[in-house]
Structure 1
Amino acid sequence: MNYSNSLKPVVAIVADRFERQKHAAHGVLEGYVHALARVANVFPIVVPAHAEGVDAETLINSIDGFLLTGSPSNIAAERYGAPPLPASVHVDFARDDVALSLLPKVLEAGVPFLGICRGFQELNVAFGGTLERAVHDQPGRLDHREGDHDRPVEHWYEDRHEIAIVPGGRLEQLAGRATAMVNSLHHQGVDRLGAGLRVEARAPDDLVEAISVESAAQFTLGVQWHPEMRVDDSPLARAIFTSFGDACRIRQAQRLRSPIPA
């Protein structure tokens, strides 16, 4: 049997941990599942935000791609050596534990990676970078927040501002041009860029909007905006997920040809 033609690549998504009916629960928003299944043409699976329930070696030998999503939560500031965030700011320590532990191992193993919003920030923190805790409070910065939550959700994800794409990078290859409009909505952003990361795009206020891993041979991309919510009408959003899916298919072919370590 030709497995590479009959099986879809497997892409792991780390879940958020939240409370549902007074019980701890694990979940992923529909937009990411839709974009992976419909556009990347892969099989998404959810990894629980439960450190004791996740084994990195087992996961790496079972997947062809790794996605870290956006989230209502922020990365705990202690993760990048800053004082704790205010009590009013939602954090997800369980996701931090799993995502920041898995990410360096997944990248080292050559697994394609896509990080979106919080996932973009997790990539920066995993490489030793730091975050601006409230971008909208910084002098000279745009207000990148999503705005009025009483609006229909689809309006949250309308294009907000232009990005300047850095020449010669992965994002320029996907976009095919020097600028693009994006639906950037977030509270935090990159302060100090992590070592070994390459800036792929910046916002008009010079905030970093996309990054990649300089030394990675495989597809790696982190974006501060939300392409998963615009795959039905944005060529760039579709290109990001299509290219990620193609990279996962290459990884799948390599993985299925290689024996699983004893």
Structure 2
Amino acid sequence: MSTIIEFKDVIKEYRAGDHVLRAMDNVNFTIEEGEFVVILGPSGAGKSTLLNLLGGLDSTTSGQIIVNGEHVESFNDNELTRYRARNVGFIFQFYNLIPNLTALENVELMKDIVDVNIDGEAVLDSVGLKDHSNQFPAQLSGGEQQRVSIARAVAKQPAMLLCDEPTGALDSKTGVLILNLLQDMSNSKDTTVVIVTHNAILAEAADKVIRIKNGQIESIAINENPKKVSDLDW
């Protein structure tokens, strides 16, 4: 595997008057292509900040973020827009679906963002929603809506899927289904999946576990024999 993501001495500070909050404090790590990575830490540790920096939704104070050999931290607004469109699929705890569009139409919106051939029906089939393509979000369960959001994220064939507490609003059974789907995408499609969570159980299924505390890397562990999500003791 080749390195797809590298954080080098990344610092992120937020200022409010004279007060400075250092959300990322000299962070260093690498992620390989196709890895299933879990980022763990308590609330306020900096997990979501890290994901936002990687996804080009926020900018560093200093340091380097290198993705596929490109220095994301140096991109201007237009370059960041292209980077997000070409490289990144976002999956959040809340689904951000457009309510007056069907599941299929929500997925096929990606055609307006990236120049790739999208077979919306096939993508929905891959997440188990073949028979729900003409339903609107309000007609779907929470788990089904989350699967539509995943289908939408993967439709543009991104190099990375960035997931911020993707199962936080779901029951445990549906959450396992979603996480199993994400793990399968990492294994079968070489998609790099990065999941921010406070659920330490998921660490057993990860190829790499990055623990964060107070904006700093507490530990990085490689799991030589990751379990299947479906085999974890939930």
TM-score (norm 1): 0.26
TM-score (norm 2): 0.29
Of structures 1 and 2, the one with the larger relative CO (CA 8 A, separation 6+) is 2
